[in-house]
Amino acid sequence: MADVFEIMHTTRAMRRLKPDPVPDDLIRKILEAGICAANGGNAQKWKFLVLKKPEIKKAVAVWYKKAFDEVIGPRYASSPPPPGSDPAKFKRQHAAVEYLTEHYHEAPVWIVCCLEDGPNPSRMSGASIYPAVQNMLLAARALGLGSTLTTRHMLFEKEADAALGLPPGVRSYAILPIGYPMGKFGPVGRGKLSEFVYSETWGQPYAEV
């Protein structure tokens, strides 16, 4: 098995997934990795909804596509390539995003990552779920499974959470579509470290990078 640094450097967003079933024991390993994560006060207010039923996934996918049509698609069309990319790579990324939009419900397993966060969640709330999300993405990669962190459904939060059947006081913070990837794992596309790291004062380069 690859070491943790190789896994982190090659955990690309895998948006094209095969419809082949994923064994339950692998999903269990991914979930176990999730609950190893740090969370506020170790309160463990997370809940993970494992979805395989097409009818539920299709109901959520309606809002996922609406968010693409109205917000995400136009944003891609009008944005320059991000750091570490170029126009050709960015075009391929956009094509993969479109593919996932059309085939979102076909991913054999979804893990919906939720918090029992009460009536007034704050910016701090994500600290108790997103570490678990990242653990699960890394675990999926280690097991040869593809996934990507999706949050677009949250643009229509009430409608999507209703389609998921979530009770009051519980919100979804991410959906991980999981399956065997059609493509290959590889290096993530990122800018140079020096573009993002400062020393002591905002904007002051960090000499060590």
Domain ranges of the chain: 4-184
pTM above 0.85, yes or no: yes
Please report the pLDDT score of residue 209 as a whole number. Answer: 86
**Would you say domain 4-184 falls under CATH 3.40.109.10?**
yes
**Radius of gyration over alpha carbons of the chain, in Å?**
18
Tell me the three state secondary structure of residue 150: strand
C-beta separation of 147 from 90 below 8 A:
no
Q: Along the chain (209 residues), what's the average pLDDT of each consecutive run of 10 residues? A: 87 96 98 97 96 97 96 89 89 92 97 90 91 98 97 96 96 98 92 94 93
- CB proximity list for 102: less than 8 A, separation 6 or greater: 65
Q: What is the pLDDT of residue 1?
A: 56
C-alpha span between 99 and 85 (Å, rounded) = 19
Which pLDDT score is estimated for 117?
Answer: 86
pLDDT at 206: 95
Instruction: Give the separation between CA 6 and CA 9, rounded to whole angstroms.
Output: 5
If one counts every other C-beta atom within 10 angstroms of the C-beta of residue 163, the result is 19
